[in-house]
Structure 1
Amino acid sequence: MTAPTPQPTTGATRATDHPPASENASTGQLIGQLTEQISRLVRDEARLAQAEMTQKAKKLGIGAGLFGGAGLFAFFGLAVLITTAILALALVLPAWLAALIVAVVLFAVAGVLALVGKKDVQKGSPPIPTEAISSVKTDISTVKESARR
């Protein structure tokens, strides 16, 4: 009994020839290599930026969800404390005056928080792919340096 011999595969195959060394390549070959390398570099940088933005968006989404849950529970806790403050003041003042005093204090706190929040938002930078931008700048300076030689 003999095992069947494998048949050679048919179809397109990819050339495995390495490009000629730069000192032996023609101008046309060098330009072709340059075009291919620039194209590959741009695709790789775009993939890097996309991956970085996806990762940042996921972290932002999870963080925002957790922050929202924390805010909801803090809201309920604050509502209970406000009610407690109103009830405590109502022991020495009329109930309407106790509620008015607590409301004025709450609006003052809200105003201060809004101003501090506005300042922080202005200081924050938009979410940009900083690593990809840095990498592209490095690539551009390398290409410029190589072109000068």
Structure 2
Amino acid sequence: MSDNFGRYFVNAIVAGLIGRMATVVKAELEKAKQEISSKLKKIGVGVGLYIGAGVFAFFMVGVFIAAAILGLATVWPAWLAALTVGGAILLIVLILVGIGSALIKKNKDLTPHEQIDTIKSTVGMSTDK
């Protein structure tokens, strides 16, 4: 009888501890979900503000381009001022496209060679013979 009582007593204590631990873990997970949800809402507001700033920056660039044309139009004829600013913008666009194309061509192979070699060497499948 005492053997069964001791076994039931230990089982009851262990079950109680596991139950309490499960309750604590569930409560903490729920708090974590709420915290993450709150942070995601704030991140969403931040992203919205970035988008708004981007829209204003887009129009600001247009205003600066117009100001450059109007400023040069005081020295040159308006058509020449517009052509000069347009040519400068075209030059900037061509430089950016050239740099972007070079980066894309250099990195278009998406195979992670370094990680594959590391895994092979870790597992023992050396690529060097």
TM-score of the pair, normalised by structure 1: 0.48
- In the TM superposition, what are the counterparts of 1:1-149 in structure 2 within 5 Å? 26-89=9-72, 91-92=75-76, 94=80, 95-105=82-92
d(CA) in 1 for partners of 2:93 and 2:65? 9
Root-mean-square deviation (CA), in Å? 3.1
1:103–1:83: structure 2 CA closer, same or farther, 3 Å change rule? farther
More helix by share: 2
1:106–1:77: structure 2 CA closer, same or farther, 3 Å change rule? farther
Percent of aligned positions with the same letter in both sequences? 31
d(CA) in 1 for partners of 2:43 and 2:91? 34
1:106–1:55: structure 2 CA closer, same or farther, 3 Å change rule? same
- The answer on whether the counterparts of 2:69 and 2:85 sit within 8 Å (CA) in structure 1 is yes
Q: Which consecutive unaligned segments of at least 5 residues does structure 1 have? A: 1-24, 112-149
d(CA) in 2 for partners of 1:40 and 1:107? 62
d(CA) in 2 for partners of 1:43 and 1:53? 15
Q: Which consecutive unaligned segments of at least 5 residues does structure 2 have? A: 1-7, 100-129
- The answer on whether the counterparts of 1:82 and 1:102 sit within 8 Å (CA) in structure 2 is no
Deviation digits for residues 66-104 of structure 1 (CA, Å, limit 9, x no counterpart): 221122122212211012223434544834233111343
d(CA) in 2 for partners of 1:43 and 1:74? 46
- The answer on whether the counterparts of 1:86 and 1:98 sit within 8 Å (CA) in structure 2 is yes
Q: Which has the higher contact order (CA 8 A, sep 6+)?
A: 1
1:15 maps to: none
